[in-house]
Copies of this chain bind each other. A is one copy, B any other.
Amino acid sequence: MSSIENFLKNAVTPWMGPKGEHSNIVMSTRVRLARNLKGFRFPLDFSREEAEEVDHQVAAALEGMEDFSHIPMESVPAIQRQALVEKHLISPQLADPERPGSVILSGDESVSIMVNEEDHIRIQVIYPGLHLLEAFDRANDIDNRLEEALPYAFDGEFGYITSCPTNTGTGLRASVMLHLPALSITSNMARIAQAVARLGMTVRGSYGEGSDALGNVYQVSNQLTLGKSERDILMDLRDLAERLIEQEERARRALLEHSPMKLEDRVWRSYGILTNARVLATDEAANRLSDVRLGIDMGIIPDVDVSVLNELMIFMQPAFLQRYAGETLQPGERDVFRAKLIRERIGMGRQSGREN
């Protein structure tokens, strides 16, 4: 097995796959529930003893429920912690070595429960495609199991109590990761972000607040957690996602109609650069991967699998690159390994595409 095949065997997660509704535009769906236990201070200012007791109680409550692994952060080397962040399985805060925390992961990595992050418990479910209700149902099952065993901090008027008041109420944050290259190319995203904000929702880059929309991947999520039922939050977000998908599809048809050759040229040039460049910075790689993904979706590039692009958006980041290289890399060296990884991975994708 080549080094890249070996690397991928250990790194690919099922939710990166091409399954799921609208999977040409929706990269993934995420649902997160924030919960806290009565009788403990919030993680920001609790003691190490409290942290250990919370961690112990949560792990015990879930014992035997699924093939969960309980992973204390301090047992994880820094580079692996970073890789978990790049895969969206934990937050950068949980990866902070100064703070006690752990993650409980399902075997397929679709469920990750962060313990002692900003709240005592954050149940997160990631699915490929647009599957908000299904993801919520799975998170809800885990929530019910925990609630049976543990005393949640809950207020009859406000709902679930959270460390940050913006999460209080349902404690629900739902988000959909959308690839919107045509709306970006046609400079529509600023207008859309304003319209979305008026609906009480937000559009931002794929790594959350303050992050750029690397490679035209946007995360759309609910802003409000209070005053609306979980179901309403999810339905409103699904409606919004569907409207954005429709607008993206319309923008794609317009590009194809008005300047098909310009579009083909853009897509194929990006393909040519990804499969040949020897140095690729993150931003350029993300934008060119976005072009190629658009080309695949629109039938311009025939024999590359979309899941290759989903994977590469994640694996081209520093921690995964270093796992792939098998050594610590300086920023300049990362650009060289990023180019190598992308070149080899797309090459593999083409071969297997051709065999089908």
Contacts and interface: CB of A to CB of B under 8 A. Distances in A.
Contacts of A261: 278-279, 336
A279 B271 CA distance: 14
A265 interface: yes
A269 interface: yes
Contacts of A279: 261-262, 265
A140 interface: no
A152 interface: no
A275 B277 contact: no
Interface string A114-155: 000000000000000000000000000000000000000000
Contacts of A269: 272-273, 276-277
A297 interface: no
Nearest to A343: B268
Interface string A267-309: 0110111111111000000000000000000000000000000
A268 B264 contact: no
Interface residues of A, number: 17
B262 A268 contact: no
Contacts of A268: 276-278
B264 A272 contact: no
Nearest to A271: B276
A261 B280 CA distance: 11
B278 A275 contact: no
Most chain B CB within 10 A, of A277, A278, A339, is at: A278
Contacts of A278: 261, 264-265, 268
Contacts of A271: 272, 276
A35 to B, nearest CB: 49
Interface in A230-278: 261-262, 264-265, 268-269, 271-278
A259 to B, nearest CB: 10
A272 B277 contact: yes
19 contacts: A261-B278, A261-B336, A262-B279, A264-B278, A265-B277, A265-B278, A265-B279, A265-B339, A268-B276, A268-B277, A268-B278, A269-B272, A269-B277, A271-B272, A271-B276, A272-B272, A272-B274, A272-B276, A273-B273
Given A268-B276, A271-B276, A272-B273, 9 more contacts: A261-B278, A261-B336, A264-B278, A268-B277, A268-B278, A269-B273, A272-B272, A272-B275, A272-B276
Which 5 A-B pairs give the minimum distances between C-beta atoms? A272-B276, A272-B272, A265-B278, A268-B276, A265-B279
